[in-house]
Amino acid sequence: MTDSPGTTRPRRRPRRHPWRSLVPALVAALVATLSLTAAGAPAQAADALLSQGKPVTASSTENAGTPASAAVDGNAGTRWSSAAADPQWLRVDLGATATISKVVLNWETAYGSAYQIQTSPDGTAWTTVYTTTTGAGGTETLNVTGSGRYVRINGTARHTQYGYSLWEFQVYGTTGPTTPTCGTANAALNQTATASSTENAGTPATAAVDGNAGTRWSSAAADPQWLQVDLGTSQSICGVQLSWEAAYAKAYQIQTSADGSNWTTIHSTTTSPGATELITLSGTGRYIRVYGTQRATAYGYSLWEFQVFTTGGGTQPPQDGSVLLSYNKPATASTYQNANSCTGCTPAKALDEDPATRWATSDTDGWVDPGWIAVDLGATAHLTKVVLQWDPAYATAYQIQVSPDGANWASIYSTTTGKGFKETLTVDGNGRYVRMYGTARSSSYGYSLWTFDVYGTGGSPTAPPALPPNPGNPEHLVWSDEFNGAAGTRPDTGKWTQDVGNGQNGELEYYTNGDNTAMDGAGNLVIEARKEANGQYTSGRINTSDHFNFTYGHVEARIKVSGTQGLWPAFWMLGSNFKTGTPWPNSGEIDIMEHVGKVADSVYSTLHAPAYNGGNGYGSPYTLAGSDFASAFHTYAVDWDSTHMTFAVDGHAFFTADKAVVESTRGPWVYDHPFYLILNNAVGGDWPGPPDATTVLPQKMQIDYVRVSQ
């Protein structure tokens, strides 16, 4: 907000807030737009054969010796042949959206005299890119222009009384930027859901698709059980998220169906960990279900939420053609702030898709009504949605207005009950200029927006930067340090940099250049906190900023923390842009584990961002009542992607920070960019307090390993 204090300190005490939110995540991405037309341009030399060996299906086969796969096996002596009827088709799944430039048909004697070449993003909706009623048989080379993941030949008239028969069906083109990504819209939300059973009337099937993380479906206590969702139409499914209650499935399948009766398994596991599972997969169907075959407990199966993500799902209603129109477009405002806690808070900052920058009205003459921000879309557009991510200085009453000329305005949305945080508004209007026109402030301060996003069609849009790719499924180890060096060896300088100097946040130690950080010869790195003869506290802090920066994945470390009054060991991550000038907390901070010696039986996981940091950080403790975390090794981990983070201790997931929940209750999500790892063993500080007469030094923080998988 416009009075929020500025700071550059890269670590603060997290608020000990027992928030538990296992709201499922969304798979993040933008939808590729298809552009399919027939053309006669020849294939480029760089175009590759895309179809060979790819999955293929057909409307029929003549017999077991002429399967569909024979047409894409690269063997000119094997063939597919169909039943002797019209129409018939052969379809190949290229595995990803491709730009198609050429199709080669190597016909057997039984060829098609009339047929079409068609493409599809999902295997359901088809676009014709070539058609003929004078097929000549033999080898036909067809130059086409189109885009799609699926390509098929659809035969409508046979040249002989036999079926259609192809020695080879070859598709040429290129893959690249047009590859579709998984949408962020939950296709299962509020759709019809049924189940094999329910535990009671309070846990119906519909509770797993209502978008409410506080309601759940639970089944009878028997195997197998299933939960099924009707998506309404056939969809290309690219991911699901299961947000399990404690009664989860150890073994289950994800299945799809065209009719709700005949099912195809597209994912299967017998080692589910429970908690929140984000699963990348591929399948097509109108119906999708989770089919549990083995329970992890004596109870039934129980899901807080079952979310389904589709190719083309986007972040707005599918198939409306809307895109983000406002990114980096010229912006104006009634005033803007450029001093104190909000230097350079120009209107452009609300349109830059950087969630850590904002526009605010001037602190000298802008804390008045009305106050406004406007964007020039570059050309007339039809508007369908506006997204406002407010700073605490929000509008309780405002309008969304449009204008053809930036002078004459018409209101297309109005409210007197604005709630702040993130507001997603469905609108319907036309104009080149769009503005938020605030008429009543929530406080004595001004108006401030982290984000002012305008969606629709038309305009002159500039595509925003794409999100980094989500982790793979399964994930693979991409970086690690096992700390197996000889006793006294310092950390690998190809992986770690020593942070030398005084600590922050009231810490009392001096971080040395490796004197306090060394291997013990038993497979551990030791970061030792000491009190030197001169009374100075020393310790160690290391980071990967010069060596390894990454976005998303599974991050874990096995650590035995130090544990006495005044000690503050931590395993955490800081946004890499902190090293290039972005101040804390704008860079973002992800505390995977913090421990303070005065609370022996708890560790803490916390997020810090511009709108929630320090004592107001968003996180949760993990407590084993009566225990002492310093007495043994424990594994601390986070699973992080574009829509959520789930924190775990020893494999037990205890806190999920969901992007949608954070944005609607705390403020911007600032974690979709590279971060680096940090290990340190602090002495003193605002949170643990200083050492006292009970403190025992030296104290060792021991790290068995650190691993990152993506």
SS3 66: coil
SS3 104: strand
Integer Cα distance of 665 and 660 in angstroms: 9
Paired residues of 575 in beta bridges: 675
Residues recognised as catalytic: 589, 594
Length of the chain as a residue count: 710
Annotate 486-528 with DSSP letters as a single string: PTTPPPPTTT-EE--EE-STTB-EEE-SSTTEEE-SSS-EEEE
Paired residues of 375 in beta bridges: 331, 434
Rounded to an integer, what is the distance from CA 690 to the centroid of its chain? 40
Integer Cα distance of 417 and 423 in angstroms: 11
| Residue 206 token pair | 């519909």
- Cβ atoms of residues 256 and 287 within 8 Å: yes
Q: Is the dihedral of CA 379, 382, 387, 391 positive or negative?
A: positive
SS3 394: coil
| Residue 9 token pair | 């300190």
Paired residues of 148 in beta bridges: 98
Integer Cα distance of 548 and 527 in angstroms: 20
Residues with Cβ within 8 Å of residue 379, at least 6 apart in sequence: 432, 458, 459, 460
Identify each DSSP E strand in 296-393 by its residue range.
Answer: 302-310, 323-324, 331-333, 337-339, 342-345, 359-360, 371-390
Integer Cα distance of 159 and 165 in angstroms: 11
DSSP-assigned letter for residue 363? T
Q: Rounded to whole angstroms, what are the CA distances from 667 to 249, 391, 575?
A: 34, 7, 17
Nearest to 263, CA basis, from 242, 284, 293, 239: 284
What is the Cα Rg of the chain in Å? 29
In which element (H, E) is residue 662 found? helix 659-665
